[in-house]
Amino acid sequence: MSKAILEVTGLRKDFSQFLGLLAKLTGETRVIPAVDGVSFYLRENETVGLVGESGCGKTTIGRTVLRLTDPSSGRIVFDGRDITHLSRAELRPLRREMQMIFQDLDAGLNPAMRVRDILREALTVHERPGDAEIASRIRELLEQVNLKESKLANFPSELSGGEKRRVGIARVLAVRPRLIVADEPTSALDISIQAQVVNLMRDLQKHLGLTYLFISHDLPVVELVSDKVAVMYLGRIVEMGLADDIAHRPRHPYTKILWASLADKQSMEASRRVHDVPVEAERRAWGAYDFEQPSGGCRFAPRCPLYQQQGRPAVCTDPASEPALRDAGKGHVVACHFA
Amino acid sequence: MRRYVQTPGPIGEFSTLPLLQRAETRDLLYVGYGLLIVALVLASYLMGAFGWLPHDPRAMNVGLINTAPFTSGHLLGTDFLGRDLQSRLILGIQAYFLPGLLAIAISVVGGSVLGVLAGYGGGWVSAVVTYFDNLLDSFPRLVLILLVIAAFKADIYAIMIVLGITSMPATANLVAGKISFLRQKNFIEAAHALGLPAHTVILKHILWLNCRALLVIQATLGMAEAILVETSLSYLGFGVQEPTPSWGNMVQAGANYLLQGNFWPSTAPALSILATILGFQLLGDGLNNMLEGKRRRG
Amino acid sequence: MSETLLAIENLRTYFYSRAKRAFIRSVDGVSLSVERGKTLGVVGESGSGKTVTALSAAGLVTASPGVIGGTITLRSNGSARNVLDGLERYVHAEEEDGRVVAVEKDERGWRRRSEALLAGVRGKEIAMIFQNPRAALNPYSTVGSQLVETIRLHTSFRGRGEAKERAIHWLERVRIDSPRLRFDNFPFGMSGGMCQRAMLAMALSAEPSLLIADEPTTGLDATIQSRIVDLLAELKAETAVATILISHDISVIQRLSDRVAVMYGGTVVETGRVDEVLAPEVEARHPYTAALLASIPNAETIRRKSYLQAIEGDVLDTIDVPRGCRFYGRCNRVKEAIRERCAGLEPPLAEVTPGHKIRCWLYPASANTAQKP
């Protein structure tokens, strides 16, 4: 039983909307909770997948967990150490242990630096190796990410998408991290290249003992690489459990819709079979949670087929009883009154 | 009818082509001319500073007034008092060279600092700096200069300080724009995530690697502007006074003789002003195309 | 018997890279056809030329040199016309060793001619929707007014009042809720999925005979993607509009297409009925198609948590096009007997079974079924 390398409790990240100078003077604020009370943990050498649609807060969680932005409240414990309130200076040495792969392929690749210089800089941030050691470590990194040596002299603008992603991964590996938050690592890539990157990441995990927080909207890939999966909706985790359970035995209505949409694309019959969303709910699908006038209670109610089927029970929209994550057996948790 | 030809043989990588080959001929011409002007200005400044002039710029020779170039041993002729034009033109550079450098130093350094603060510092720092920036930008430069003249009696250095300060917003905006572009690409965040300290990110990554082209261009254009301001002011009678030559006051003094048909004493300095300002502007333009355009092609 | 609505023959669209002094051979001899009322799915990765092919068909290629050869025949109102008619007069291409090395093109002249040929066709008979719907809509104009503009321009509903009613009818048909309210919405106030529906409404309101949909579901959320796919399926059944559906998402192609064309490196490498090309148990298949399907996680791979079968190497960049088969460098089914041919000579598109063509030396053309590429 490996220990938890990352533990997040009650994480909250608010973004305040700028209402104008006058409002600022009168103290009026509008706060949008992008992440609203999220708790989970990662064990060493494990992959936890984080899925959800745009706006659910999964990217924000990734950045907050690494302290790239500061949480509004909650606790982040990395390797037994509470890092929630550490200053920038105290965080710097810890940075090497927890890294991020950004969604943008160009992130971290200065367009004016050659690949060789990018890697050399990464290697010299926290250590001071000699020239010979730098050279050998660069070669090692290239081998690890399967990149040709000839690419060292290139600028990022001359690299293909897959190559850029690999350089980005090499740069991150240079500091020898233990935890990697991967934010949509395969999104901007071609399908055949996606497969290469996914294989690469799994290989690296096996050889280097890495822990991944795998944030993605590509459900099949998440199911493939993750041990556990957490499903997010509008800032909260609505369901979490083993990858297989989440994919094949989902309990929360949103999770069901999410996985059914995969089948949808394949055939109408499959969709009608798995998917029990009535047509009108689809119309209201656009009326997502309005943070300006919170309707109270379960956030998914406006779109929820279960809500419709059960005859719109009051408990779902009761502000006092927002569903909390309850244990459904074997570590599988769901936040729903009826699941 | 456009013609496109593929070069035979293996297709090379863009970055392996040297800068000169990648650039368009037009830009090479601009930059070439600009560099020539810069060289002449620099050389002339040094000559003037050390007094290595072909003739004494104050020596009047009543017998040789208003001569044309290449006559009577004066390369560029003489003015209405028989003074050697070439020496006076060379000496005239003194009037704007150092002040101009002061102006661009303030503009570039001050602008970079403002730009970094506006783009990099978050929250209220950025807001305050942007307000300050816009404030500076809205000052009418000419009015300010006249105010300074009224207060400090046409001290060219004071005027150049004003010029520098009022040019800061332009640079600041460019730098802040670059930063917001880099930020959008998660670039700055990624650098922090790796553990790079803030000063490295700002100095090395932002300013040196990404902004140096635009800062150089701002400097050349700033110099063109400074020359324009100085010559205009001395033409109007502020700034350097007779008998010390400045291109502006040479144009002014020589203008009296235009109606008599002696156009050279005022045309020569006027052409110099034109050629020099054009040189700096083209240098800036050409460099801009060559350095910034490189990534858009191909 | 469906008639061919659009036939693209041997289309070549090149661009020129000044930095590398070389041609970008985006579309290098592509032949496709769509039948009335049917959907042709075009599958490919970046650089395959699928988008540029669509843009060429709609006359939207503006970069230089652009379209340099081929014919695009559109059948409308009983008559057939070539949208690239007269191109040879404006283009002169020099070849060396079977490869184009220089192109001279009177671009301005061709553009004038092309506009004349496409007048009344673009928007009216051929409609197009693009990826990233919010970017394709005018941000300064309401959705309703953009729709009305299309309707008044291309249909018989010229009056403002009747055009508006028609617009609202179309908004309803694409299942946008509260169509009367949404009529006055600006694109930034609408979600990605809604913008995509609005764009679909704009395209279809002109009642075109051909709809070109370029990556209509990419970039949208998973649940919204399935909604759009449902919508496209419904509209296909209702309006009988012929569609060219371009996507890299194989499941979308499978659901919506009748026929499929797989593109790689600027050429079509396989074409046939969707069940012939994309179904799992087919034996005769282009190695690229097979490898592409194998690199997507399916139920089996996920269950066994096995590694994906990734294709080696990088997607072909169409600047440095190799001699011989374009997929040779990455192919895992090369046999020693044909290796030399694969490396040196590009295979033609050969008919393996009626209607199913493959461009691969593993399935060489026999004397009587060979087709010109």
Separation in Å, CA of C90 to nearest CA in chain A: 33
Residue B147 placed within a domain? yes
- Give the model's confidence band at B23: pLDDT under 50 very low, under 70 low, under 90 confident, else very high: low
Residue B20 placed within a domain? no
pLDDT tens digits, one per residue of A263-319: 666 555 444 444 444 433 333 343 444 544 555 678 787 778 777 777 777 777 777
Residue B253 placed within a domain? no
Is the Cβ of C242 closer than 8 Å to some Cβ of chain B? no
Closest CA to A223 of A249, A253, A193: A249
Residue A221 placed within a domain? no
Q: Which helix (H) or strand (E) holds A129?
A: none
Q: Taking CA atoms, what residue in A is nearest to B292?
A: A112
Q: Tokens at residue C60, please?
A: 């939207």
- Confidence (pLDDT) at C366: 61
Residue B80 placed within a domain? no
Measured between its terminal Cα atoms, the distance across chain C in Å is: 25
Q: Which of A99, A107, A157 sits opposite B187 (nearest CB)?
A: A107
Instruction: Give SS3 for B11.
Output: coil
Buried b (16+ CB within 10 A) or exposed e, B32-46: ebbeebbebbeebbe
Residue A339 placed within a domain? yes
Q: Tokens at residue A89, please?
A: 């200076």
* Domain range enclosing B115: 96-242
What subunits touch chain C, counting only 3 or more CB pairs under 8 A? A, B
Say which DSSP state C76 is in: E
CB contact under 8 A, C19 and B11: no
Q: Tokens at residue C237, please?
A: 């059944």
Separation in Å, CA of C21 to nearest CA in chain B: 6
Is the Cβ of C323 closer than 8 Å to some Cβ of chain B? no
pLDDT at B134 over 70: yes
Q: Which of C45, C191, C223 sits opposite A191 (nearest CB)?
A: C45
**If you compute the radius of gyration of chain B from its CA atoms, what whole number of angstroms results?**
23
pLDDT tens digits, one per residue of B190-225: 888 888 888 888 788 777 777 778 888 899 999 999
**Domain total in chain A:** 1
Residue A41 placed within a domain? no
pLDDT at C221 over 50: yes
Bigger pLDDT: B228 vs A33: B228
Is the Cβ of C295 closer than 8 Å to some Cβ of chain A? yes
pLDDT tens digits, one per residue of A196-217: 999 999 999 999 999 999 999 8
What subunits touch chain B, counting only 3 or more CB pairs under 8 A? A, C
Residue B75 placed within a domain? no
- Confidence (pLDDT) at C368: 45
Tokens 């991150």 map to which residue?
A: A172
- Give the model's confidence band at A171: pLDDT under 50 very low, under 70 low, under 90 confident, else very high: very high
CATH number at residue B160: 1.10.3720.10
Report chain B residues whose CB lies below 8 A from the CB of A157. 14, 295
Bigger pLDDT: B75 vs C118: C118
Point out the least confidently predicted range of A45-54, A288-297, B19-28, C156-165: A288-297
Say which DSSP state B121 is in: S
CB contact under 8 A, B3 and C104: yes
Say which DSSP state C233 is in: H
pLDDT tens digits, one per residue of C64-97: 888 888 999 988 777 888 888 888 888 888 888 7
Say which DSSP state B74 is in: B
- Confidence (pLDDT) at A269: 47
The burial class, CB within 10 Å (0-12 / 13-18 / 19+), for C97 is exposed
Is the Cβ of C366 closer than 8 Å to some Cβ of chain A? no
Q: Which of A199, A223, A261 sits opposite C223 (nearest CB)?
A: A261
Q: Which of A59, A158, A166, A192 to mutate to test the interface with C (most CBs of C within 10 A)?
A: A192
* Domain range enclosing A324: 251-339
Residue B178 placed within a domain? yes
Instruction: For residues C158-173, give the mean pLDDT.
Output: 89
Residue A175 placed within a domain? no
Say how many CB pairs under 8 Å bridge A and B.
65
- Confidence (pLDDT) at A2: 67
pLDDT at B298 over 80: no
CA dihedral (A225, A231, A235, A238) in degrees, to 10, reads: -150
Residue A238 placed within a domain? no
Residue B229 placed within a domain? yes
Report chain C residues whose CB lies below 8 A from the CB of B21. none
Residue A235 placed within a domain? no
Say which DSSP state B205 is in: I
Strands C65-76 and C79-82: antiparallel
**Domain total in chain B:** 1
Report chain A residues whose CB lies below 8 A from the CB of B190. 100, 102, 107-108
* CA–CA dist A121, A108 (Å, integer): 11
Is the Cβ of A192 closer than 8 Å to some Cβ of chain C? yes
Closest CA to C51 of C133, C129, C119, C108: C129
The burial class, CB within 10 Å (0-12 / 13-18 / 19+), for A116 is middle
Bigger pLDDT: A24 vs B180: B180
Separation in Å, CA of A296 to nearest CA in chain B: 31
ipTM of the complex: 0.81
Contacts (Cβ under 8 Å, ≥6 apart) of A19: A28, A29, A30
Instruction: For residues A124-150, give the mean pLDDT.
Output: 90
Query: φ and ψ at C265, to 5 degrees?
Result: 60, 30
